[in-house]
Amino acid sequence: MFKFINERSLRTKLLFSAFVVLFFTIITVNSVALYTIYATLVYRNSLRNKSHKNILVSQLRFSLLHKNIESVKSIFYVANKNRYIKYVYFHILKNNNINIKRQLNFGLYNKKLIKNINPSIIKLNNKIIGKVYINFNLKKELRQIRLRVFWVAARFYLISLIFICIGLIIFYFIISKVTKPLLELESKMVKVSNGDYSVHIQSSSKDEIGSLVNIFNFMIKNIKGYIDKIDLISKEREELNCMAQMGEMSGMVAHEVKNAVYVINSSNKYIKNNLHIKDKNLLEFINIIEEELKRLNNMTVGFMHFAKQREPKLTDVNLNDIIIESIRILNYEIKNVNIKIIKKLDNSIGLIKGDKELLKQVIINLLINAIDAVSNMNSPIIRITSSVINEKDKILINISDNGEGIKDFNTNNVFKPFFTTKKNGTGLGLAISSRIVLLHKGLINAERINGFTVFSVVLPKRRII
């Protein structure tokens, strides 16, 4: 039985419990009420019999006092009509002084019954003249009482059954209201077990179930945050490993290419300086070779910088100071293109743990990209902002420009090594910047917003180990 109940749902258990409580409560109350009714009817019946007995004795005494035998007979006749009296026996003493010579009785005379009945004494002038034995039909009375109680019980239990049904229906709706958030919680937990951490349960309840739902939502939010952090760390580690491998390969290739470039460039200069070439076409080709060798050399140097990227040396640095210093370094290029610089630096950002030179390299790379992007614009604008985000535990730097910049579909590729949209670009500046930011446990992102290309750098105020 208990095993069967344990296998049922919570709603079924609560309904069964409510039914058991209602059933036994009503049974107990009805039983007590019916017993009280039965005892009351029996007691009332005994009082009525006692009253009939007293009336009968009083009438006999009065009739005997007046020596009215006919009246005595009429009393017995009336007693005969009383359905509750089984028999009446009047025993008259011999010296009764009222000249009654015979005994009077009504009903079936039984000496054994008389022995078990307490008689009523009739006195005249303080002298006992006789005894009256009255036997009531108790079996008939009790049968009628039981019949009445039976029909009362039938009505009681019918009404109780109706109340139980109504109570269970009301209780069912109450249970449904109570268990609804629990069932929703169960379904959401199934989704969570399947890897869906976007679940959220709405609850306006202030009781224990509401607290449970709020704890569940808080727990899922924290789990999702931890998973996002783990994914981010895994992604960063994967990118760093990829960059390390590519850097190692780039270093090897760059070393060999640089040697070849050096030999080719030396040979080209020898030809240009020692052979008096008058053919303009040939001289043009020699100059093209020289320019391409310079570009190839710059790319090789970039490869080597990428390959030899060092670990950051952490000190207390102020990003606002780095931004201002980077703008000062590029001041000539900015004025040459007549760029309007809009700065909005938050002085409350304070100090962070970082490598000043590496972070300066990031800012300069982003500013150079912005300068190149707006160099052909009529009204070139570069905006630089710094602010504190995420409850003051992270710093956000935005560098945006109104140049043509990158397309929306290239925003995810600009930080990949060797990806470039510039004619003379190496595709390593942003890759190196991304690697430096990752080494500082930060994030870098590019997007197009309202005609501006926005590069965002997020750095923690405290370095996460």
Angle at 126 between CA 123 and CA 129, to 5 degrees: 35
Position 303 confidence tier, pLDDT thresholds 50, 70, 90: low
Mean pLDDT over 47-70 rounds to 71
213 vs 205: CA distance, rounded Å: 9
The single-letter DSSP state of residue 109 is -
342 vs 447: CA distance, rounded Å: 19
Position 99 confidence tier, pLDDT thresholds 50, 70, 90: very low
Of residues 137 and 399, the one with the higher pLDDT is 399
CA 136 to each of CA 43, 143, 152: distance values in angstroms, whole numbers, following the listed order: 14, 13, 25
CA 285 to each of CA 272, 288, 290, 292, 424: distance values in angstroms, whole numbers, following the listed order: 11, 5, 9, 11, 19
Angle between helices 10-65 and 69-81 (to 10 degrees): 170
* Pairing mode of beta strands 127-136, 452-460: unpaired
Residue 397, pLDDT > 90, answer yes
Question: Which residue has 């290739």 as its token pair?
Answer: 253
Mean pLDDT over 174-198 rounds to 76
pLDDT in tens, 314-328: 889 999 999 998 888
Neighbouring CB atoms inside 10 A of 257's CB total: 17
| pTM of structure | 0.44
Contacts (Cβ under 8 Å, ≥6 apart) of 18: 167, 168, 171, 175
Residue 4, pLDDT > 90, answer no
- At residue 238, the 3 state secondary structure works out as helix
Residue 22, pLDDT > 90, answer no
pLDDT in tens, 407-419: 655 666 777 766 5
Of residues 438 and 108, the one with the higher pLDDT is 438
Looking at residue 1, what is its pLDDT? 52
Instruction: Give me the residues paired with residue 356 across strands.
Output: none
Position 383 confidence tier, pLDDT thresholds 50, 70, 90: very high
Query: Worst-scoring range by mean pLDDT, 71-75, 162-166, 351-355?
Result: 71-75
Looking at residue 294, what is its pLDDT? 75
Question: Which residue has 């009383």 as its token pair?
Answer: 82
Looking at residue 137, what is its pLDDT? 66
113 vs 110: CA distance, rounded Å: 5
Question: Which residue has 């002085």 as its token pair?
Answer: 347
pLDDT in tens, 225-282: 788 788 877 776 776 676 666 666 666 666 667 667 767 777 777 777 776 666 777 7
Q: For the chain, what percent of residues have pLDDT higher than 70? A: 65
Average pLDDT, whole number, for the chain?
Answer: 75
pLDDT in tens, 105-157: 444 444 444 445 566 666 666 776 677 766 666 677 778 878 888 888 888 88
Position 168 confidence tier, pLDDT thresholds 50, 70, 90: confident
Question: Which residue has 């100071």 as its token pair?
Answer: 321
Looking at residue 322, what is its pLDDT? 92
Looking at residue 106, what is its pLDDT? 44
